Amino acid sequence: MIDQFCVALACSPRKNGNTEILLKAAVERLQSLNVETETIRLVDLSYYPCRACEGCYSTGRCVIKDDAGPVFEKILKADMLIMAAPVFSMGICAQAKMFIDRSQQFWATRYLLKQPVIQDDDFRQNRRGIFISCAGTRLPGVFEGSASIVRYFFKMMDIKLTGTYCYPGIDKKGEILARAGALEEIKDVSARLAGE
C-alpha cells in the first residue's frame, strides 16, 4: 500500500465522548491498514477565533500565531481528514466552528489570490475525508447546520468530503457504544477511505 497520512480531528470539548469514541474506531481501523494517523484534540490547543482583520487577504496565510497554524499545516499535508464534532444547540460545537473560521485564509487563497490551496494536482485530487457527528436530540434538521459548515471547510481545504456519518439521540457519554452498528459502520467507512 502507498504510504498515506490521515489527520483525525477531535473537536468535542468532552474527552472520550461519543464523537471521539467513533473517531478512535476510525483511527484504529486505519492503523490496522498501516495508514499513518495523528489525532489532534482541539480542546487541548490554545487558539483564537478569526478576528476579521483581513491580514490573510494578501498572502493566503493567517497572521495570528497560535496552535491553529501547525494543525492547518498538518491538514495541508494529509491524504485524509476525519473530523469528529458533536452538535451543540443545533449547530457544530464552538471548538470546531472557531477552528473552521480560521480557514478564511484558504478562502483568501482560492478567491482573492486565485490560487489552489494545494498546488500539486495529483495530490489535491486524491485528498478525501469524512465527517462524524452525534447529537443528543432527534429533532428534524439537527445536523443540517453542522453539515453545511463542514462542506465549506472541506472545500476550502481542497479535500473531497466522501461521507457524513451522523447519529441522533446520542447524549450521555459513551452512549454511542450501545448504538447498533455505529462502530462497525465507521470502521468500514474508514477502510474504504484508505482504499481497501
Domain boundaries in the chain? 5-193
- What CATH number labels 5-193? 3.40.50.360
**Could you give the 3-state DSSP secondary structure of residue 185?**
helix
Burial class (CB in 10 A: 0-12, 13-18, 19+), 8: buried
Cβ neighbours of residue 181 closer than 8 Å, sequence gap 6 or more: none
> In degrees rounded to 5, what are phi and psi of residue 158?
60, 45
- pLDDT recorded at residue 2: 63
Average pLDDT value over all residues in the chain = 97
pLDDT of 1 higher than 60: no
pLDDT of 115 higher than 90: yes
Q: How many CB atoms lie within 10 A of CB 37?
A: 19
Q: Note the pTM of the prediction, 2 decimals.
A: 0.96
pLDDT of 27 higher than 60: yes
- pLDDT recorded at residue 196: 77
> Judging by DSSP bridges, how do beta strands 91-92 and 128-134 pair with one another?
unpaired
Average pLDDT over residues 3-25: 97
Chain segment 54-96, per-residue pLDDT in tens: 999 999 999 999 999 999 999 999 999 999 999 999 999 999 9
Chain segment 122-171, per-residue pLDDT in tens: 999 999 999 999 999 999 999 999 999 999 999 999 999 999 999 999 99
DSSP one-letter code for 109: I
Average pLDDT over residues 8-21: 97
